Amino acid sequence: MNSPEIVTELPANILYTLGYRDWRPQDIKDVVEELDAVLVDVRILPSSRNKAFTKSALESLLVDRYRHLRPCGNENFKGTMGPDTVLVSDAACYEGVRALTRLGPVVLMCMCSDHASCHRNDVAKLVSGRDGLVVAHLYPPAVNIPSARAFQQRLDLA
């Protein structure tokens, strides 16, 4: 954690999400390290035409701060989001994310820019609803210098 101010200004029990489409990999790494978090990839298939966002590239980038949780993938994902989310396994997704949130902050990651039309929002609700976590959606930083103010500007507390 680079800035202790962040801890004092934000609730402790936040479940974060981000959609990587508008992010640079290094900025994702920076924010995950800043939060001392684990990035949980909730794509049903952790692949991408952008080689920076394949499972192997993210594992190389984030090492033990990366997990792919296939149970949290959306069976109805067809390249664009449909209206109905069907998780591979609600129970296994919940248990997987919950186990990680007990160890520290978690950032749920999908591709979609807009969390409102992304199944990661459904995953966030599934976990936060039962465990009393506050959901916050992260946005790409305007500047690549972590600070409490920049952090809050790219945070949207749901």
Binding site for Zn ion (CB under 5 A): 110, 112, 118
Return the exposure string of 73-99: e unless at least 16 CB atoms fall within 10 Å of the residue's CB, then b.
bbeebeeebeeebebeeeeebbebbee
* Closer to Zn ion by Cβ: residue 112 or 133: 112
Q: How far is the CB of 117 from Zn ion (least distance, A)?
A: 8
Q: How far is the CB of 110 from Zn ion (least distance, A)?
A: 3
Output the CA–CA distances (angstroms, integers) from residue 33 to 62, 71, 136, 142, 143, in the order listed: 9, 25, 17, 17, 16
Helices (H), 3-157: 4-9, 25-34, 55-62, 90-101, 119-131, 148-153
According to DSSP, the residues that pair with 3 across neighbouring strands are none
* Closer to Zn ion by Cβ: residue 39 or 112: 112
Q: How far is the CB of 113 from Zn ion (least distance, A)?
A: 9
* Closer to Zn ion by Cβ: residue 36 or 156: 156
Q: How far is the CB of 123 from Zn ion (least distance, A)?
A: 9
